[in-house]
């Protein structure tokens, strides 16, 4: 070109396909994140246990798993305490009694920590 600018690269030039593929991958990942968040929103509002089960199965199929730590030792780095329930059984002190709000993990990355009720010794 005579004005000193370069013409726009075409898909046949080296490196352009890589850039386009990277942009498409970034877009696909952003869209996946948005769909997963939409599924979690719908799951929280679902009234039917069948619908909840189906959404959880669909999410699990793409690597997003539900976290229900009932019976596990409470871990503040992985769980959020929503409340406590007293117990006379000292072995239950600090154990998750119930999951109030299901958590979700996407291939090891926490999307939402479960909110749990924790046993506390009297």
CA distance 29 to 23: 10
pLDDT at residue 14 is higher than 80: no
- pLDDT grade, residue 3 (50/70/90)? low
Q: Burial of 102 by CB count in 10 Å (0-12 exposed, 13-18 middle, 19+ buried)? A: middle
Summarised one tens digit per residue, pLDDT across range 50-99 is: 999 999 999 999 999 999 999 999 999 999 999 999 999 999 999 999 99
Which residues are registered as beta bridge partners of 103? 67
Domain 64-122 CATH (choose: 3.30.70.100, 1.50.10.10, 1.10.3720.10, 2.30.22.10): 2.30.22.10
pLDDT of residue 17: 80
Query: What pTM was estimated for this model as a whole?
Result: 0.78
Kind of pairing between the strands at 109-112 and 103-106: antiparallel
pLDDT at 9: 55
46-51: average pLDDT: 96
Tell me the pLDDT band of 122, cut-offs 50, 70 and 90. Answer: very high
Q: What is the pLDDT of residue 4?
A: 61
């Amino acid at each position: 070109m005579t004005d000193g600018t370069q013409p726009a690269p075409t898909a046949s030039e080296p490196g352009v396909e890589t850039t386009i593929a990277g942009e498409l991958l970034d877009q696909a990942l952003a869209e996946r994140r948005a769909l997963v968040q939409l599924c979690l929103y719908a799951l929280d509002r679902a009234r039917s246990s069948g619908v909840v089960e189906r959404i959880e199965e669909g999410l699990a199929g793409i690597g997003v798993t539900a976290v229900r730590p009932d019976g596990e030792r409470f871990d503040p780095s992985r769980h959020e305490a929503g409340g406590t329930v007293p117990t006379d059984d000292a072995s239950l002190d600090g154990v998750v009694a119930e999951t109030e709000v299901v958590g979700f993990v996407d291939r090891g990355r926490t999307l939402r920590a479960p909110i749990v009720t924790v046993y506390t010794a009297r």
